[in-house]
Chain A
Amino acid sequence: MFRNQYDTDVTTWSPAGRLFQVEYAMEAVKQGSAAIGLRSKTHIVLGCVNKANSELSSHQKKIFKVDDHIGVAIAGLTADGRVLSRYMRNECINYSFTYESPLPVGRLVVQLADKAQVCTQRSWKRPYGVGLLVAGLDESGAHLYYNCPSGNYFEYQAFAIGSRSQAAKTYLERRFENFADSSRDDLVKDALMAIRETLQGETLKSSICTVAVVGVGESFHILDQETVQQMINAFDIVGEQEGPAAEPDAAAGQEAAVDQGGSTGEGAAPMDI
């Protein structure tokens, strides 16, 4: 991006009617590592690429549980993302306390968007440099939203943000029409495949990605490494087996009683790639 004379202040318009600071904030999202989300009628899956700075350090946390029925994946300035997650958790817990009922995702997303908008209209603030994929369940079903630094929000069937997200988006665009009726496990597999697209040839391992699920009857939770690795292994060798491996509910416990290469009891149909 070039230097412009109208880009010093977030409250300065350019002659072309643009707020450059806001656009620069959206650039920060594009530079962050990829995060993807997709949904069916009953479940939403969030996934992200988690690269550690060095072998010595741990991964940055990019997926946050906001409430039992809401989770968020971020891309961009993770510190800003952490702060916004704390805000979201606060809003959810306050609503739950007052009304003994979960906060509808649609409302949380609007509150988040309004919060981001404020930062685009105060000279002493700067826009949040983080894009959020908000996944949540409410009485009208499963929802996936994208909140950007500009204060806009959109609802999606599937979306990807961050670096090399275009590759994931292309994959999702090809397949999104099937998502509405997908099973939970197929949705997770599609998420892993989308993450793989952003890696551009690098091997997909559970150590560099994180996957989380929320759905009807299933609280938001992050799948543990072992489960994710099993699923990765399952679709890597798809040609040689009849069906996807059965996947235990990670929320229930750490049971690893899953056979990797075998079929399920009912003989599920071969998974298409």
Chain B
Amino acid sequence: MASKQPENSLLGPEADSQRTLYPYVTGTSVVALKYKDGILMAADMGGSYGSTLRYKSVERMKPIGKHSLLGASGEISDFQEILHYLDELILYDNMWDDGNSLGPKEVHNYLTRVMYNRRNKFNPLWNSLVLGGVKNGQKYLGTVSMIGVNFEDNHVATGFGNHLARPILRQEWHENLSFEDGVRLLEKCMRVLLYRDRSAINKLQIAKITEEGMTISQPYSLKTYWEFSAFANPAQGAVGSW
């Protein structure tokens, strides 16, 4: 569903209005980790319009087929476009009706091809995606960026999550986390993001995908603590009238 390019798509100012130059409504970090039974993924429900926290019920994680879960940060409309592509992909996969199905690895690589090809045309889908899933007992967790960089790992994050959540995960993640420990770890990461990421909102969902299927929690909020003495009177000792 790429926008129609005029004949002279390489030249002329009209061509520029057809390409993605900057994002408008964006989602912030997605954090995900592998645990004993599958994958856990967390994302808040915010859609920012620049610096305004405009939309507060955006579902940024969606199931794909029987075996995968996709979380996205970045331009929300591009995420919706990706969901449309994947919808078609899964539809054709199901239409074969032959006992074979696309697993998370296949979906991840398909997305990598899409993201990279768009980047090569200088018309990127402005997203960082997290793709997790379980198939035939094998857990899979990977990420793709808007320029087509793709890799798999035991825990991944997008955007600010890379700077704030990954260090926590590197210290505290281990093989065979229980569900409760996994959720606790994700909440710890999300709380730090809530404190420190300006585009984060206090309304998040945690999604779980296992061999049995995918479940996504109802939106909930994290407890925060603001009674640190440094916050009590932040302007004390400040110099100047501004």
Q: Which residues of A are at the interface with B, using a C-beta cutoff of 8 A?
A: 97-101, 104, 106-107, 110, 138-140
- Which residues from chain B contact A101 at a C-beta distance below 8 Å? 103, 105-106, 109
Residues of chain B from 13 to 63 with CB closer than 8 A to chain A in the complex: none
- Which residues from chain B contact A106 at a C-beta distance below 8 Å? 96, 98-100
Q: How far is the CA of A97 from the CA of B103 in the complex (A)?
A: 15
- Which residues from chain A contact B100 at a C-beta distance below 8 Å? 104, 106-107, 138-140
Q: When the two chains form the complex, which single residue of B96, B98, B102, B136 contacts A99, counting CB atoms closer than 8 Å?
A: B102
Which residue on chain A has the smallest CB distance to residue B103? A101
Q: B113 near A: Cβ within 8 Å?
A: yes
- Which residues from chain A contact B110 at a C-beta distance below 8 Å? 98-99
- Which residues from chain A contact B105 at a C-beta distance below 8 Å? 99-101
* CB–CB B109/A140 < 8 A: no
Q: Can you sample 13 A-B contacts with CB below 8 Å?
A: A98-B113, A99-B109, A100-B106, A101-B103, A101-B106, A101-B109, A104-B98, A107-B98, A107-B100, A110-B96, A110-B98, A138-B100, A140-B99
Q: Which residues of B are at the interface with A, using a C-beta cutoff of 8 A?
A: 96, 98-100, 102-103, 105-106, 109-110, 113, 136
Q: How far is the CA of A107 from the CA of B99 in the complex (A)?
A: 10
Q: How far is the CA of A175 from the CA of B115 in the complex (A)?
A: 52
Q: How far is the CA of A99 from the CA of B142 in the complex (A)?
A: 14
Which residue on chain A has the smallest CB distance to residue B96? A107
- Which residues from chain A contact B109 at a C-beta distance below 8 Å? 98-101
Q: How far is the CA of A99 from the CA of B110 in the complex (A)?
A: 5
Q: How far is the CA of A66 from the CA of B181 in the complex (A)?
A: 47
Quote the shortest CB–CB distance from B51 to chain A (angstroms).
38
Quote the shortest CB–CB distance from A108 to chain B (angstroms).
11
- Which residues from chain B contact A100 at a C-beta distance below 8 Å? 105-106, 109
Quote the shortest CB–CB distance from A228 to chain B (angstroms).
33
Sample of 8 more A-B contacts, CB < 8 Å, known A101-B105, A106-B98, A106-B99:
A98-B110, A101-B109, A104-B100, A107-B96, A107-B98, A107-B100, A110-B98, A138-B100
Q: How far is the CA of A110 from the CA of B71 in the complex (A)?
A: 34
Which residue on chain A has the smallest CB distance to residue B106? A99
